[in-house]
Chains A and B, each alone.
Chain A
Amino acid sequence: MKPSTVFMSYTRNDLTNFVILMGLGFAVVPFVVQTDYWYSSILIPWLCLSLAAVGQQIVMGYAGQLALGAAGFMAAGAFALFNLELRLPFMPFPFNLMISGLIAAFFGIIFGLPSLRVRGIYLMVATLAAQFFIIWMIDKFGWFKNYDTSGIITAQDIVIFGREFTSPFEMYLVVLVTVTVLTVLAINMTRGSTGRNWMAVRDMDIAAESMGISLLRTKLQAFAISAFFCGVAGALFAFTYLKSMEPVAFDIKLSFRILFMVILGGLGTINGAFIGAAFILLFPVVLNTLGNGVFHGMIDATIISSIELVVFGVLIIVFMIYEPLGMAKLWDSIKAKLAPQSTLEQAQEKQQRL
């Protein structure tokens, strides 16, 4: 994260890649993918976690605030939606989804307050408080779980204007539409003045402040919007992937996973959130398949999950050393190497290097 690396050129890439991706998601996937497994175990969690990673990206990659409470905000969103659906069943689902995002955003503002005074590791500790506090609150106050004692709370069916969305494919559509709308919003924000303010604060907060950017406004805005994204992502994650409400699913491990998605995917790009989420989600699947296919179950499952940790850790160190901007940058570099360059581009690149 050298200050000289400004990510502005990325946003155009973000947009084109995103358009291609959504084109695939809407036009190709429904005709190609027929099995429920792909929808309910790969595509839905990927989109949900990508959305959460976009939230983490906003606060960490764009605003430069090291936060580690994404899963807490996801839990807030999930249980907010559960309660809204429970207590206000007459309200339309998209409306409730938005409100649950707003409730998460409220928590985001509260736990973002310390960011006004501290940064780096200090902030990380403050956001850890969000993680632990929100989960504890949901666990301890029966109201949030509707006084359910069985331990398994089933999420309500998604009903949008009288139509039920219960099959994996229909749920996939709900998630895809939400993610599309919110990601377009995120890309627009990062392209506009909001995003520029975030990046100014990230690159040098004191300089940004002396240029008239309000740190209070900018940082809290980043935290609120980030928590909103995480909240919606958490609500979708619980309703379409987990299909049940359990605070345990949103523990600190999930926060770390989302942090890894953003770091490995690439800080400061929306692309990075999607790439990182895909990697973190798919890698264990690949590793398990490898373990079963090549070694025929000779390797214990716990060992495989330990190896997973090691690989993630090593990758983070390697990326920090060799490519701090993550896979998104790696992808761009490969593309740039392969594509024929015009003289103008070459000149521009030369200038950038100087």
Chain B
Amino acid sequence: MHISGWPMTEFLFFIEVVVAGLLAGTMYSLVALGFVLIYKASSTFNFAQGAMVFFAVLSFVGFMELGLPFVLAFFVTILLMALLGFATERLVLKPLMNQSEDTLLMATIGLGFVLEGLAQAVWGVEVRRLDLGIGDFPIQWIIDSTGLFISALDLTAGLVAAVLIIGLALIFKYTKMGLGLRAVADDPGAASSIGIPLGNIMLLVWTAAGIVALVAGMMWGARAGVQFALVDLALKALPVLIIGGFSSIPGAIVGGLIIGASEKVLEVYVGPYFGGAIEGWAPFVIAIFFLLWRPEGLFGEKIIRRV
């Protein structure tokens, strides 16, 4: 069987590449999701999100090494992230209220370095293995039924991302906290004047971002080991955000999928002509072209600036 002159195996391979890219893309989405949460609530671009991913998963592995069982370590880490969110809100964001976006961005770059340094100072610098009990190898029944090689880890990451996003969407839509959060996102001044506790909302958002960071870190860590390189990987969430828009949760997902798929397709089909490893910069170049076409991203709000 041929599809427009393309042999079936080639076509299957193409599908495989795309699917693997899409699933890997959900991992970017997970990182991007944390950015979006904080950006929505406080219009702060949290450059430290990548460092939070590293910090969270390194702490999680560290707690496990101390002998805590999996579930307990998970919750202790979430508690730690909540604490971190609290400290950030009090020590960094509050004093910088009403400052320009660029100032806040630079402060969060500083925060990122603090987190990276702290995590390494406490837990050490060696690469840790993280075994979630999910192998990074193709699932047999999918091979049997469709002939596609799809990694179990990729599939899990996709499912986890889906669950997280649906959960977050439900919380935002149907809980009082979520309503408050949307109010704060819309107009912090008005929200606080009608009695919405800004501080609590921020704490909630940073905790949620912390949980997302931990989950993203666990997925990445299971694949590539828990190591400092995670911080650089998280940088790839930036093009995802540019494509999806900074304030849109669906945007983070779609952006992640686009980046993941196009990166893999480019790497497999275009990469060989350039000596490979174009994955490192391809997302950024895609993002640049996207910026030229639609600077606010696919789902972002149009930015209107006035003198």
Contacts from A to B (Cβ < 8 Å): 1-2, 64, 66, 114, 117-118, 120-122, 124-126, 128-129, 132-133, 136, 139-141, 204, 206-207, 210, 252, 256, 259, 263, 302-303, 306-317, 320-321, 324
Contact = CB atoms under 8 A, between A and B. Distances in A.
B307 A303 contact: no
B99, B121, B275 — which one has the most chain A CB atoms within 10 A of its CB? B121
Contact of A315 (B110, B121, B124, B305): B110
Nearest to A259: B109
B152 interface: no
Given A1-B103, A306-B125, A310-B117, A126 B288 contact: yes
B295 interface: yes
A303 B110 contact: no
23 contacts: A114-B288, A117-B291, A117-B295, A120-B45, A121-B47, A125-B242, A128-B235, A129-B284, A140-B277, A252-B235, A308-B117, A309-B113, A310-B113, A311-B117, A312-B113, A313-B110, A314-B114, A316-B107, A316-B109, A316-B110, A320-B103, A321-B95, A321-B107
B81 interface: no
A156 B278 CA distance: 30
B274 A66 contact: no
Contacts of A210: 307
A132 to B, nearest CB: 4
Nearest to A308: B117
A221 B276 CA distance: 33
B267 to A, nearest CB: 12
Nearest to A302: B125
A307 B117 contact: yes
B102 A120 contact: yes
Contact of A129 (B277, B288, B295): B288
Contact of A114 (B91, B291, B306): B291
B107 A317 contact: yes
Contact of B111 (A136, A306, A313): A313
A132 B102 CA distance: 23
Contact of A122 (B100, B114, B295): B295
B175 to A, nearest CB: 29
A66 B101 CA distance: 11
B118 interface: yes
Contact of A132 (B105, B111, B114, B284): B284
Given A141-B275, A309-B116, A126 B291 contact: yes
B2 to A, nearest CB: 35
B102 A316 contact: no
A224 to B, nearest CB: 18
B281 A306 contact: no
B280 to A, nearest CB: 5
A133 B124 CA distance: 31
Nearest to A3: B100
Contact of A140 (B121, B276, B295): B276
B83 interface: no
Given A314-B110, A317-B114, A118 B281 contact: no
Contacts of B281: 129, 132-133, 136
A282 to B, nearest CB: 18
A210 B305 CA distance: 14
A252 to B, nearest CB: 7
The 6 closest A-B pairs by CB, nearest first: A316-B110, A309-B117, A313-B113, A129-B284, A313-B114, A310-B117
B171 interface: no
A302 B127 CA distance: 13
Contact of B238 (A125, A308, A313): A125
A120 B104 CA distance: 11
Nearest to A206: B307
B112 interface: yes
Given A140-B276, A140-B277, A310-B117, A120 B110 contact: no
Contacts of B285: 129, 133
A225 to B, nearest CB: 21
A94 to B, nearest CB: 32
A320 B106 contact: yes
Contact of A204 (B106, B287, B307): B307
Contact of B118 (A122, A310, A316, A324): A310
B280 A132 contact: yes
A133 B283 CA distance: 11
